[in-house]
Amino acid sequence: MKGAIIRRGKKSWRLKYDLPRDPATGTRRIVYATVKGTKADAEVELRRRLHALDRGVHVDPSALTVAGYLESWVADVAPQRVAPKALERYRGLIRYQIDPHLGAILLQKLRPADVANWHQALRREGRLSTRSIRAAHGVLRTALAHAAAIELVERNVAALIRPPALARQAPAILTADQIADTLARLAGHPFHTIAALALGTGARRGEIAALTWADLDLDAAAVTIERALEETRDGVRVKAPKTAAGRRTVSLPAFAVAALRDHRTAVLELRVRTGAGRLPPSAPVFADLEGEPLSPHLITNRWRRAVRNRKLPAVSFHSLRHSHASALIAAGLDVVTVSRRLGHASPALTLSVYAHLFRNRDQEAAAAIHAAIDGSAR
């Protein structure tokens, strides 16, 4: 492949080279590109482009901007790979965090420095947490990975720049005393059974919302979790767990079984009073007045009201899941058992979230090994 360099200005050069002829029409295709700098800079860029062309990885110049590409990617590609809830999050991050800073740049002109400057701009604005900046970076990186795979760009520049490091914080949890006090304060409250189930199983909000009476075996003190409700602006939908580990049967503690039995009795009495008839196994365990399952957002809102009205510890509903895990670890259960109850894809994920709790038992471990050696010596 051959090309030419033509001076355009004092520090500006035009590159000219041919692409392979159009396979459909046989028409000659000529590329023109401008390089700012010295002639040596232009020569380096021309050699790079011709070398890429020889290797079959050359990317045709394009007027496509970052915003234009992301618009098509989030409409056509992302829906095939992520759930609607995540897709909704992607759209928000693109619209409010990526496009205002990077959207006008030509996709093929986007450089690692642009990404680094974008991070700095987001941090200077101060509106986003580090976690949100990392999430926005993740969306850009994922989108550009697809662009590189289909040869719209030669490389994924977002993969070359690391997002701001996230300072790990221990999740908020209820202590053993707070768990007991929370359930006592919720006695007689409509939210008592949901809180008891969350604390007793570590189930996620969406998993609890999706439960039907067929999923419960109160005589065997077990609940089967095999689906979850996901809520977006388009409504509520049932979704399968992300991994096989998400489908699980979890043993119920006695306090959760008692709460569920009382809840079932109250539901049956209400159906008798309203003439609704027998309770079908497919009915949601937690339903509104129309018999529809409670939405995840509604569960969160009701928990916040319960915290305020019953003067409970100010933790999120998701913290009940963390509290369950913490109680298991404090009781000495192994990480594999904890991971299975939580529905984590692997024990490694459990450790990444709760490693600090296992480290808290380090002194006990030292005492245990000392006792073992001391007993052996005797």
Please provide the DSSP assignment of 159-200 as one string.
Answer: GGSPPPPPPP-PPP---HHHHHHHHHHTTTSTTHHHHHHHHH
Rg (C-alpha) for the chain, rounded Å, is: 29
Angle at 117 between CA 115 and CA 123, to 5 degrees: 105
d(CA 374, CA 322): 36
For residue 250, the model assigns a pLDDT of 95
Q: What is the dihedral of CA 123, 126, 132, 136, to 10 degrees?
A: -50
Looking at 238-295, list the stretches that DSSP marks H as alpha helix, in order from N- to C-terminal side: 254-274
Q: How many other CB atoms are found less than 10 A from the CB of residue 30?
A: 9
Q: Domains, the chain, ranges and CATH? A: 3-55 (no CATH), 66-160 (1.10.150.130), 176-315 (1.10.443.10)
Tell me: pLDDT of 64 over 90.
no
- Write the burial class of residue 234 (CB in 10 Å: 0-12 exposed, 13-18 middle, 19+ buried): exposed
Question: 83 is written with which tokens?
Answer: 């759930």
Tell me: pLDDT of 166 over 90.
no
In the chain, how long is the greatest CA-to-CA distance?
A: 92
d(CA 98, CA 368): 53
Among 118, 324, 359, which Cα is nearest to 204's?
Answer: 324
pLDDT tens string 8-48: 888 888 888 888 777 778 878 777 778 888 999 889 988 88
Higher pLDDT, 225 or 59: 225
Which amino acid, one-letter code, is at 222? Answer: A
Tell me: pLDDT of 373 over 60.
yes
The sign of the torsion formed by the CA atoms of 110, 83, 295, 341 equals negative
For residue 57, the model assigns a pLDDT of 64
pLDDT tens string 321-365: 999 999 998 888 889 999 999 999 898 988 888 877 776 656 666
For residue 315, the model assigns a pLDDT of 93
Tell me: pLDDT of 191 over 80.
yes
Q: Which residues contact 103 (CB under 8 A, 6 or more apart)?
A: 65, 66, 67, 70
Higher pLDDT, 260 or 76: 260
- Write the burial class of residue 194 (CB in 10 Å: 0-12 exposed, 13-18 middle, 19+ buried): buried
Q: What is the separation, in whole angstroms, between the first and last Cα of the chain?
A: 83
Mean per-residue pLDDT of the chain? 88
Query: Does residue 255 contact residue 183 with C-beta atoms inside 8 Å?
Result: yes
- State the pTM of this model: 0.67
Looking at the DSSP assignment, which residues form a beta bridge with residue 222? Answer: 217, 251
For residue 331, the model assigns a pLDDT of 85
